[in-house]
Structure 1
Amino acid sequence: MASSPPAFIYVVVVACRMSPQTDFDVDFDGTVAVVTGASGALGSAVVDRFRTAGATVCAVDVVAPDDEDSLLEPDSGVQFYEADLTDEGDVERLVSAIVDDHDRIDHLCNIAGTWRGGDPIEDTDLEAFDLLLNVNLKTAFLAAKHALPHLQETSGSIVSVSARSSLEGGEGDGPYRITKAGIRLLTETLAAENRGTVRANCVMPSVIDTPMNREMMPDADHDSWVEPTEIADVIAFLCSEGAAVTSGAAVPVYGEA
């Protein structure tokens, strides 16, 4: 007897480069989007993309917009919430505050994350591993856990940020790759558990063209890197009705790398 089809199918998507000038219609009018890591290069680009599309944007970070390290403009026209997303009590309070203020959540964009290189596994300090585990994976887990009841009410969407390097092991940045692989598995789990209700997808950037990355890698081929605005376009699409049949996908956003 033939076995029944698997409950979940992993699809490999062919990467393509979107121009920074790409302009496509995404209408988020009347929806509420929560963007974590909003003060960073990618987070602030996602905030701007959703705001431009008409969403009420709730920008979340531990770095306030008026901090010198923030790339989120203080007068960006969004509501900022300061929260430690590695603390479950803080996340629970954050989600309650957003729902109290706006009555709903339609989109969760898990952008919060960080990169560290480092040493081989046997020489890696537990503190360094814990930092990456907490910032890259725990934040996405806790945000999804507490936002899900509200996303289920609105048939909403979740998009998280994995990484191209999560597809294989490598030397020197193992903990980073491990946590970003965890994002892919978290995405697949959310998609399977919420099939037909909440869509969950993730994007896999290569090197993102940010001021910090240019400073760390001044001699790299910056033209091959992917722009934050290009990734923000893909994230917006994955939250839109245009991707209504897509859930559980890990979408490459490699630029020309």
Structure 2
Amino acid sequence: MSVTFDFSDRVAIVTGASGALGSAVVAAFREAGATVCAVDIVPPDDEDSLLDTDDDTHFYEADLTDESAVETLMENVVSGHGRIDCLCNVAGTWRGGQPIEETDLGEFEFLVNVNLKSAFLASKHALPHLREQAGAIVSVSARSSLEGGEGDGPYRITKAGIRILTETLAEENLGTVRANCVMPSVLDTPMNREMMEPSDDWVDPADVARTMLFLCSDAASVTSGAAVPVYGEA
């Protein structure tokens, strides 16, 4: 059974848009008819970018850890397109590492900034505009955020923070803006294929993107504060 969504006349912001998951989310919203504002520090013409642009995709280069830059970003989107209906907080990265007692502070702060601070700032400055449209926020947590683990503690900590941020946004904006997050297991991305032996259990970014599209749609109008597992066939 195929499912389609109509996001015509809606404006969606997708952060981390040049990465594997972000570019898949951009493609999903674009296919659904949305005007997509793709945000990243990596421009589409960079050799590391996976983002394809067209007339319905508008790229904004911004440092999402800089509050003034995020505030300006949201103002520019509204100035250019009149509204914000959806915010997809995809920007993030993974780092393994040492036990906590051996973890460099700079490494910890880097993950906090990229994974959590970026979602906090984007949500903070998008909220006034999202309220005007009864919009939705969908962020990316991780399956590994559900428990502590050896080797990537700071990553798990930041992704657990995304879940709490999501629940807080949902509670603070009851009846005005919905907030949910997805929890993928290992994504099938070029970076992960370089670091690990590929597995059939890995999740296609396009499948995660479709779940995020659903959570932003009217079909999920009664869903807020949820952390949705996206574990593939497991």
TM-score, length-scaled by structure 2 = 0.98
Give the one of 210, 227, 232 matched to 1:250. Answer: 227
Deviations 1:209-247 (A, max 9, x none): 0011011002x4x21100000000100000001100000
Identity score, percent: 73
Q: What code does the residue aligned with 2:218 have?
A: E
Query: Aligned residue for 1:17?
Result: none
Q: In 1, Cα distance between the equivalents of 2:204 and 2:30? A: 18
Q: In 2, Cα distance between the equivalents of 1:77 and 1:235? A: 19
Query: Aligned residue for 2:209?
Result: 232
Query: Aligned residue for 1:3?
Result: none
Query: Aligned residue for 1:182?
Result: 161
CA drift of 1:23 comes to 3.4
CA drift of 1:248 comes to 0.1
Cα contact 2:145–2:156 (8 A) shared by 1: yes
CA drift of 1:256 comes to 2.8
Query: Aligned residue for 1:23?
Result: 2
Q: SS of the counterpart of 2:183?
A: strand
Instruction: Note the aligned Cα RMSD (angstroms).
Output: 1.0
**Structure-2 change in CA distance of 1:78 and 1:206 (3 Å):** same
Q: Which runs of 5+ in 2 are unaligned?
A: none
Q: In 1, Cα distance between the equivalents of 2:193 and 2:228? A: 24
Cα contact 1:49–1:233 (8 A) shared by 2: yes
Q: Which is bigger in relative contact order (C-alpha 8 A, separation at least 6)? A: 1
Structure 1 residue ranges (4+ consecutive) displaced by more than 3 angstroms after TM superposition: 74-77
Q: In 2, Cα distance between the equivalents of 1:27 and 1:111? A: 21
Cα contact 1:27–1:54 (8 A) shared by 2: yes
Q: In 2, Cα distance between the equivalents of 1:136 and 1:176? A: 8
Provide the aligned length of Structure 1 versus Structure 2. Answer: 234
Deviations 1:127-167 (A, max 9, x none): 10011000000000000000000000000000000000000
Q: Which runs of 5+ in 1 are unaligned?
A: 1-21
Q: What code does the residue aligned with 1:104 have?
A: R
Deviations 1:27-62 (A, max 9, x none): 100100000000000000000000010100000000
Q: SS of the counterpart of 2:170?
A: helix
Q: SS of the counterpart of 2:91?
A: coil
| Residue 73 (structure 2) pairs with residue 99 (structure 1) | no
Match runs of 1:8-19 below 5 Å: none
Q: SS of the counterpart of 2:200?
A: helix
Cα contact 2:116–2:162 (8 A) shared by 1: yes
TM-score, length-scaled by structure 1 = 0.89
Query: Aligned residue for 1:57?
Result: 36
Q: In 2, Cα distance between the equivalents of 1:210 and 1:256? A: 17
Match runs of 1:117-156 below 5 Å: 117-156=96-135
CA drift of 1:73 comes to 1.8
Q: What code does the residue aligned with 1:49 have?
A: A
Cα contact 1:107–1:158 (8 A) shared by 2: yes
Cα contact 2:35–2:56 (8 A) shared by 1: no
Cα contact 1:237–1:243 (8 A) shared by 2: yes
